[in-house]
Amino acid sequence: MYFPLIRTSTLLYWQTLKVMIKSVFRS
C-alpha cells in the first residue's frame, strides 16, 4: 500500500518541479 503512494507522490513532485523550472526559464 505504501509503495504506490510513494510512487504517485514522487511523480507529482517531479511534475511540479518540471513546471516550476519551465516557468522560471520562461520569465
Prediction pTM value? 0.55
Q: Where are the domains of the chain?
A: 1-27
Confidence at residue 1, expressed as pLDDT on a 0 to 100 scale = 58
Confidence at residue 6, expressed as pLDDT on a 0 to 100 scale = 85
Rounded to a whole number of angstroms, the distance between the first and last alpha carbons of the chain is: 40
Q: pLDDT tens digits, residue range 1-27?
A: 577 888 899 999 999 999 999 999 987
Q: What is the dihedral of CA 18, 19, 22, 27, to 10 degrees?
A: -150
Confidence at residue 4, expressed as pLDDT on a 0 to 100 scale = 84
